[in-house]
A = this chain, B = another copy of it.
Amino acid sequence: MDTAAPLSPASTVPADSTPVGTPLFSRIRLAAPSDVPHVHKLIHQMAVFENLSHVCSTTESDLSANLFTSPPFQSFTIFILEVSPKPFPENSPHNSNLNYIPVVRILNSDHPVDDPDREIFKSEDENVVVAGFALFFPNFPAYMGRPGLYVEAIFVRKCYRRKGFGKMLLSAVAKQAVKMNYCEVFWVVLNWNVNAIRFYGDMGAQMLPEWRICRLAGDALQLHQNDN
């Protein structure tokens, strides 16, 4: 597994050093409405990974209609993970977003990543590719009395896994929670996903094995429309 060396947003490989292997620049930034097509594809890839394609009905127009309707972090919020073989431009408009300063890291891979979906995940900048995302929103744990962040989804595309990007995304959410003086980061995981469970444990997360999820949806939900 590659190591991820933290660098500031403006960092580049120093001109006088010989990078070990192939550099891969990575960045986490806030999503914008123009990211909807990529987010839509990421959600459907995540559904395939979780064996839940049959319940995934999200459309691009759903996302456009329901996201970006309030300022970041106050409601549904998305972090986009991007990668590039070249440094991200210092004059990127994302660097002047007052709501969130992007996190940038550089990895040195033994080999360039072979990305079969490069074309469909290409960003506005020719070199940049969307590699993953995190979707989260505020929750309110009654026993804490202060808001937290509920992470609905964290996903890294297959060819970019085992490089520390999942940790980078979850850390970015956790750091934002601390910054806002929020009390927790909360999420659910499939019990067969042992890699994810181990990774979350390494991040310091606590598993709460005695809780179960309940859900009222579809026809069972509609039945309640006439309740008094």
The interface residues of chain B lying within 8 Å CB-to-CB of A138 are 75-76, 137
Whole-angstrom distance between the alpha carbons of A205 and B105 in the complex? 44
Stretch at the interface among A15-23, A82-90, A111-119, A174-182: A174-182
The interface residues of chain B lying within 8 Å CB-to-CB of A75 are 74-75, 138
Number of this chain's copies in the complex: 2
Instruction: Give 1 or 0 for each of A89-102: 1 = CB within 8 Å of chain B CB.
Output: 00000000000000
Report A176 CB to chain B, min CB distance, Å: 9
Instruction: Give 1 or 0 for each of A127-145: 1 = CB within 8 Å of chain B CB.
Output: 0000000010111111111
Query: How many residues of A are in contact with the other chain, CB < 8 A?
Result: 82
**CB under 8 Å from chain B, chain A span 57-91:** 57-59, 62-63, 66-67, 70, 74-76
Whole-angstrom distance between the alpha carbons of A144 and B62 in the complex? 8
